[in-house]
């Protein structure tokens, strides 16, 4: 019976390695399962039964039959508990805990899954310590290497569970430990490892450990063979640009709140939780930027990284990535604009943002890239709105004189008309939503669009009084329609401030129209 047991397991292992067929992806696994089930009927040996149930558990999981997998793993664990010489088979127990923990997490029973995986973690630590202490291969199934492999899987599953629970610090810790072990044992798949570097760097950037975040991206870059995987390298450059941009934004916030000299910032920026041995990447030291010139230096660094990535992620073929980077650069202009002392530069920054986004907005297919199109539409509308409002103040435009500079007044009028145009497009998009899709975000968006259209119409300047009056009348009607819309949709409580401003404008505009008519 022992010979048949061992030869059957060999056949099963051979079948499991066969490549899947597209039309019958589990064919060979089903054949392996049949062999295991037939073997189970023939043996009365508890150890053999335990191993067969384990193999069946793996087989069912591979075939996406999680319920049957759980049953067989549970039966295997029960049988192994009856074996006197269990020490030799602890890697089986380790793997069973991994599978049961994974299956629980997959069912969103994260607490149960974590409790089971904690057992796997403790068992893995015991086996690894035992192997290290004895300085010789463990006398267990699979030996020391198998115990190490299963322990890495345990840490990976724990990271997944904490991610699903939203416990980010523990998820990051276990993800980092998994990556360290994979890197040390050279058992990682290149793309997965690089993507994990990016994901983990996003976490550390989010808690302002910018040096750690950038270091991880450099590690990801270092493991890519020279001249290979250009898209993967460009993805890292894109992520590097985002990290520098995030650090720039944080430093701007510190300057605006007069906290740029906070002595805790260097320690916060340069806290390291994970470093890799055997990779030619030095630990970086980032100093907080304290002046506008230093902020602009960070902008240039981030912009350079994005431009490198965009040489690979061109618009023709990589629409989403290309536009995402342009949007990030646009946001950086918005951030540094808040510190810009020169009004002419503020205007230039706003125009630069439009120069970045308008060409791609006009180039993409709104049906093929609906989400991207809608995000660009909103951003372009907001930039035009901000531009004309700034020009009204800076150029000191009133209803009768038209401002200090004719050129700036023309720019303001153009921005006004663009604001009206793009917010009207937003309204058109929102009206396409079905009634059941009209949530509070919908009402907020459409109310903002209507209000900004009305406001822009009231600011348009013309020396021709008839034209000026027509825009004021349009504005007045728009405010009235907005009040009617809010009341009809029973949104009075949510938009009290908007209603109040609309009512004030409805009172003010008629007298303004009369004054211009009598001029």
pLDDT higher than 50, residue 135:
no
pLDDT (mean) for 399-403: 69
Q: Which of 120-134, 173-187, 215-229 has the lowest mean pLDDT?
A: 120-134
Q: Is 442 exposed, middle or buried (0-12, 13-18, 19+ CB in 10 A)?
A: middle
Amino acid 169: pLDDT: 93
Evaluate whether residue 213 is within a structural domain: yes
Evaluate whether residue 258 is within a structural domain: yes
Evaluate whether residue 142 is within a structural domain: no
Cβ 219 vs Cβ 201: under 8 Å: no
Evaluate whether residue 379 is within a structural domain: no
Amino acid 71: pLDDT: 95
pLDDT (mean) for 241-252: 97
Amino acid 134: pLDDT: 54
Across the chain, what does the average pLDDT equal? 92
pLDDT higher than 80, residue 133:
no
Per-residue pLDDT band at 399 (split at 50, 70, 90): low
pLDDT higher than 50, residue 138:
no
Evaluate whether residue 294 is within a structural domain: yes
Nearest-angstrom CA–CA distance, 175 and 24: 34
Spell out the residues 6+ positions from residue 419 whose beta carbon is closer than 8 angstroms to its own: 381, 384, 385, 388, 452, 453, 456
Amino acid 86: pLDDT: 84
Count the neighbouring beta carbons within 10 Å of the beta carbon of residue 484.
11
Nearest-angstrom CA–CA distance, 507 and 501: 10
Evaluate whether residue 212 is within a structural domain: yes
Q: How many Cα atoms within 13 Å fall on the side-chain side of residue 179? A: 28
Nearest-angstrom CA–CA distance, 457 and 417: 8
pLDDT higher than 90, residue 140:
no
Amino acid 434: pLDDT: 76
220 vs 18, residue with greater confidence: 220
**pTM, full prediction:** 0.84
pLDDT higher than 60, residue 139:
no
Per-residue pLDDT band at 265 (split at 50, 70, 90): very high
Indicate the helix (H) or strand (E) that contains 14. Answer: helix 2-16
Q: b/e map of 208-221 (b: 16 or more CB within 10 Å)? A: bbbbbbbbbbbbbb
Amino acid 514: pLDDT: 86
| Cα Rg of the chain, angstroms | 32
Q: How many Cα atoms within 13 Å fall on the side-chain side of residue 62? A: 18
> Strand, coil or helix: what is 373?
helix
Query: DSSP per residue over 287-344, as a string?
Result: PPP-SHHHHHHHHHHHHHHHHHHHTTS-TTT-HHHHHHHHHHHHHHHHHHHTT---HH
Evaluate whether residue 184 is within a structural domain: no
Per-residue pLDDT band at 141 (split at 50, 70, 90): low
Evaluate whether residue 59 is within a structural domain: no
518 vs 440, residue with greater confidence: 440
Amino acid 400: pLDDT: 67
Amino acid 17: pLDDT: 84
Identify which of 362, 356, 377 has the alpha carbon closest to the alpha carbon of residue 425.
377
Identify which of 302, 198, 294, 326 has the alpha carbon closest to the alpha carbon of residue 244.
302
The percent of residues above 70 in pLDDT, for the chain, comes to 97
Structural domains in the chain (count):
1
- The model's pLDDT over 201-230, given as tens digits with 9 standing for 90+, comes to 999 999 999 999 999 999 999 999 988 999
pLDDT (mean) for 299-311: 97
Residue 211 belongs to what domain range?
207-339
Indicate the helix (H) or strand (E) that contains 360. Answer: helix 343-363
- The model's pLDDT over 445-465, given as tens digits with 9 standing for 90+, comes to 999 999 999 999 999 998 888
Spell out the residues 6+ positions from residue 164 whose beta carbon is closer than 8 angstroms to its own: 105, 108, 110
pLDDT (mean) for 274-278: 93
Distances (CA, A) of 167 to 38, 160, 172, 206: 45, 10, 9, 14
Nearest-angstrom CA–CA distance, 421 and 416: 9
Question: Could you say which DSSP state residue 88 is in?
Answer: G
């Amino acid at each position: 019976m022992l010979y048949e047991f061992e030869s059957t397991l060999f056949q099963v292992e051979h079948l499991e390695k066969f490549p899947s067929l597209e039309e019958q992806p589990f064919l060979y696994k089903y054949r392996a399962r049949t062999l295991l089930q037939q073997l189970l009927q023939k043996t009365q040996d508890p150890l053999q039964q335990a191993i067969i149930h384990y193999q069946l558990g793996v087989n069912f999981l591979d075939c996406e039959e999680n319920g049957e997998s759980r049953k067989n793993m549970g039966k295997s664990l029960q049988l192994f508990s009856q074996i006197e010489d269990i020490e030799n088979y602890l890697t089986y127990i380790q793997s069973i805990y991994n599978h049961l923990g994974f299956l629980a997490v997959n069912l969103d029973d994260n607490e149960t899954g974590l409790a089971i995986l904690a057992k796997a973690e403790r068992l893995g630590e015991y086996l690894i310590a035992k192997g290290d202490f004895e300085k010789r291969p463990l006398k267990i199934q699979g030996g020391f290497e198998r115990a190490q492999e299963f322990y890495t899987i345990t840490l990976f599953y724990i990271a997944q569970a904490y991610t699903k629970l939203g416990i980010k610090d523990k998820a990051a810790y276990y993800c980092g430990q998994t990556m360290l072990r994979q890197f040390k044992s050279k058992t990682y798949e290149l793309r997965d490892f690089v993507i994990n570097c990016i994901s983990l760097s996003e976490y550390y950037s989010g808690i302002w450990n910018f040096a750690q975040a950038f270091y991880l991206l450099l590690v990801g870059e270092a493991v890519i063979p020279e001249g290979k995987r250009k898209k993967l390298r460009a993805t890292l450059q894109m992520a590097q640009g985002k990290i520098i941009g995030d650090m720039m934004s944080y430093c701007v916030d510190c300057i605006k709140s007069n906290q740029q000299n906070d002595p805790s910032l260097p320690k916060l920026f340069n806290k390291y939780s994970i470093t890799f041995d055997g990779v030619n990447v030095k630990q970086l030291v980032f100093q907080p930027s304290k002046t506008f010139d230093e902020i602009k230096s960070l902008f240039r660094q981030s912009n350079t990284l994005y431009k490198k990535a965009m040489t690979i992620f061109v618009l023709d073929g990589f629409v989403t990535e290309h536009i995402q980077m342009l949007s990030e650069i646009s946001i950086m202009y918005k951030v540094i604009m808040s510190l810009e002392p020169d009004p002419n530069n503020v205007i230039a920054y706003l125009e630069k943002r439009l120069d970045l986004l308008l060409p791609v907005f006009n180039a993409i297919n709104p049906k093929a890239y609906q989400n991207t199109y809608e995000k660009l539409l909103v951003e372009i509308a907001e930039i035009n709105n901000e531009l004309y409002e700034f020009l009204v103040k800076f150029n000191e435009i009133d209803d009768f004189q038209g401002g200090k500079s004719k050129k700036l007044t023309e720019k303001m009028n153009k921005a006004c008309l663009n604001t009206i145009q793009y917010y009207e497009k937003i309204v058109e998009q929102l009206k396409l939503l079905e009634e059941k899709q009209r949530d509070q975000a919908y009402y907020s968006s459409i109310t903002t669009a209507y209000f900004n259209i009305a406001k822009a119409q009231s600011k348009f300047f013309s020396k021709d009084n008839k034209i000026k009056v027509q825009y004021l009348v349009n504005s007045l009607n728009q405010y009235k329609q907005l009040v009617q819309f809010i009341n009809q949709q029973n949104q009075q409580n949510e938009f009290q401030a908007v209603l109040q401003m609309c009512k004030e404008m409805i009172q003010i505009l008629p007298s303004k129209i009369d004054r211009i008519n009598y001029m």
